Amino acid sequence: MNNNKSLKITAEICRILIGAVFIFSGFVKSVDPTGSAIKIGEYLESFGAPHPSWLSMFLSFNLSSIEFALGVCVLLAVLRWWSSLLTLVFMCVMTPLTLYLALYNPVADCGCFGDALVITNWQTFYKNIVLLAAAVIVFIYRNKLEQIYSRSLQGFIALFAFFFCIGFCYWNFAHLPVIDFRPYKVGENIPSLMNIPPDAPQDEYVFIYEKEGVTKEFTLDNSPAGDSAWTYVDARLVSKGFVPKIGSFELFDENNINLAEDILQQPELVMLFVSPHLDEASEKSASKINNLYDFAQETDGLQFYFATASSDEEIASWRIDTGSDYQMLTADDVVLKTMIRSNPGLLVLREGTILNKYHFNDFPSPDDILALAADYQSYIDEAVLDAKWKPATSPQKANFWLFISAAFFVPLLLIWLYDFLIVRKSKRV
């Protein structure tokens, strides 16, 4: 009896562990489906698999939703045979894959928790070893897991969890992520995030030299760089120094002059539109961009910039298709994709501080821009600089999370009540 009880407790702990990790992993990926699609694209490119851009997004939506649904099913002991088997198969695939990533490092990080929690490839592999062991235990002892819902309702619970996550993915894709895990958050000051403190630790290397067939490691202080008897072989990074949250921020005009510093120091309001690749940008927003450009030209204290990583041919095609005549700045596409998950997207800045960000489906009107400028000026005038700036129209409001929580938990509760009061009662009768 004691042995059975121990096995049940172990299985329940493993169930909670797998359920929590899978739900968290699926959730943070669904918060930023565009970021997950970028990571999936990196995977496919590293394995030499050409793919259309829509495929990465399709896989992003489905991978996050499958992970989330599997986590819910395991946590609630829904469809115990299927959920435990699929979880085990999932871990059997991912564990050797992450070992390959750890050994050969084709991508910098696995992206298993999106940008919410970045861990190394080796840390990912060790994590997957633990989850694989837990998945084996859950599969073997699945019948010991306590079920919350009757079997007749469990298929609906699994489908509900999957499609709920699909819908949540779509919301974050059609607007901006409800949680911004990247450095360019609303309220952050870009120059401050680029600063390196004077006393910040530096990269530390050991230098490998060879003499008469013998290799030896030296530090920078005692390396025999001027000694001809020693031959330099290699250098190895021992300790990584301080890395700023934003490594570089450069915006070049047609004369290859970097305007980034001028833009980040502007005391006036700056509308910075961003499009990593114009050939993939939504043209339905072009008229709004043109209207805001005209508004900026007519309004004192308002600057307009448009940054892209597109080629001259793509820029020319965009001008023809949209009738735009504003100046284009060029920048690195990785930086632009990191700044905002929208193509095109809009950042409103003042002295390098991000006042707000907009998806192309939510581009502001001129009145919205004026209201934002007035709100920020009030924030400055009232000397509340110890509190981080947050716009009144911020999507991250408590009532939004209340709605999301209710949309997920209320149906589960209602199904449980129906199960308890009607389904199970009828079986007892």
Beta strands 302-308 and 328-330 are parallel
Residue 178 bridge partners (DSSP): none
Tokens representing residue 18 in the block? 């797998």
345's CB contacts (< 8 A; 6+ apart) are 176, 273, 274, 275, 339, 357, 358, 359, 360
315's CB contacts (< 8 A; 6+ apart) are 278, 308, 328
85-to-74, 90, 296, 358 alpha-carbon distances in Å: 10, 9, 58, 42
Given phi > 0 = left and psi -120 to 50 = alpha, else beta, which region is 274?
beta
C-alpha distance across the termini of the chain, in Å: 31
Decide: 353 and 389 in contact? Cβ < 8 Å. Answer: yes
76's CB contacts (< 8 A; 6+ apart) are 19, 147, 148, 149, 157
Give 74-94 pLDDT, tens digit per residue: 999 999 999 999 999 999 999
Counting other chains too, the contacts that 77-82 makes at CB distance below 8 Å and 24 or more residues apart are 77/15, 77/145, 77/146, 77/147, 77/148, 78/147, 78/148, 78/149, 78/154, 78/157, 78/158, 79/154, 79/155, 79/158, 80/142, 80/143, 80/145, 80/147, 81/142
> Beta strands of 219-266 (E only): which ranges?
231-239
Tell me the pTM. 0.89
Max Cα distance, the chain (Å): 94
What are the backbone dihedrals phi and psi of residue 354, each rounded to the nearest 5 degrees, phi first?
Answer: -80, 110
Residue 329, SS3 per DSSP: strand
376's CB contacts (< 8 A; 6+ apart) are 269, 350, 355, 389, 391
Cα–Cα distance measured from residue 274 to residue 368, given in angstroms and rounded to the nearest whole number: 19
Burial of 71 (0-12, 13-18, 19+ CB in 10 A): buried
Give 16-35 pLDDT, tens digit per residue: 999 999 999 999 999 999 99
- Regions of the chain with pLDDT less than 70: 1, 383-387, 392-398, 427-429
Give 224-261 pLDDT, tens digit per residue: 888 888 989 999 888 888 889 998 899 999 999 999 99
Q: What is the pLDDT at residue 395?
A: 45
